[in-house]
Amino acid sequence: MERIFGRPFVTQEAMRARIRDLGRQIMADYADKDLILVGILKGAFAFYADLARAIRSPMRVDFLVVASYGVKAKSSGRVKMVTQLTENITGRDVLLVEDIVDSGLTVQYLINTLSKQKPRSIRVCTLLSKPQRRKVHVPLHYVGFEIPNQYVVGYGLDYRQKYRNLPYLAVLDKVNVEDE
Ligand code: IMP
């Protein structure tokens, strides 16, 4: 599998260090809050597992499975929640954990939808952000790495539902993202 990807993008070491920093920052920011860490699946599963363990204070965990639909499925902004939260978020401090923010439409949809349940606060932590691709402004409080307009796979991120298990992030060449 790994031979397909010539260019590891962010090394495991760099990622580990950055996630440790994010964990420390989140721990400090949420010291007196009622944190519920909401992982957006499938893509965030690997990042979520590492980030959650870097936050060394009590918190709740929950997950949402989202799926895109439409012709240009990814980044079309047509997103639906396939599952619901199991925890009550009303009056609590929600931190959404995303793999990557591209157009921003998924995060925008999630913030709008979850805000109806009246959390005390709602913020976003994303491993990756592609600012050049943004279609809508979304507030990103915690960003692991800003990356250029390249298609990346591994560490939870897929290409046609594969390669999520690659233990590092790699640039996938020869992909027309618009076709995805
Ligand atoms: P957005 O709604 O355009 O911000 O898209 C976010 C979703 O698109 C992510 O959660 C990913 O599932 C997918 N996506 C965007 N860029 C990439 C990439 O480079 N690799 C893998 N998935 C991506």
| CB distance 157 to ligand 1 below 6 Å | yes
Q: What is the rounded distance in angstroms from the CA atom of residue 136 to the CA atom of residue 138?
A: 6
* Domains identified in the chain, total number: 1
pLDDT computed for residue 77 by the predictor:
58
Ligand 1 atom nearest 74 alpha carbon: 8
Does this model's pTM top 0.95?
Answer: no
Using DSSP's 3-state secondary structure scheme, residue 135 falls into coil
Query: Edge-to-edge strand order for the sheet containing 152-153?
Result: 8-10, 169-171, 152-153
Average pLDDT over all residues of the chain = 89
Residue 113: inside a domain, yes or no? yes
Ligand 1 neighbourhood includes 48 CB (under 6 angstroms) = no
Domain coverage including residue 137: 5-175
Is there a domain that residue 65 lies in? yes
Q: What does the alpha-carbon distance between residue 86 and residue 108 come to, in Å, rounded to a whole number?
A: 21
Assigned domain for 180 exists? no
Active site residues: 102
Residue closest by Cα to atom 17 of ligand 1: 151
Domain assignment present for 100: yes
Whether residue 128 is contained in a domain is answered as yes
74 CB near ligand 1 (under 6 Å): yes
Q: What is the pLDDT of residue 66?
A: 94
Tens-level pLDDT at each residue, the chain (180 residues): 445 555 677 888 899 999 999 999 999 999 999 999 999 999 999 999 999 999 999 999 999 999 877 555 455 557 889 999 999 999 999 999 999 999 999 999 999 999 999 999 999 999 999 999 999 999 999 999 999 998 999 999 999 899 999 988 998 876 544 444
Q: Is the CB of 151 under 6 A from ligand 1?
A: yes
CATH number of domain containing 39: 3.40.50.2020
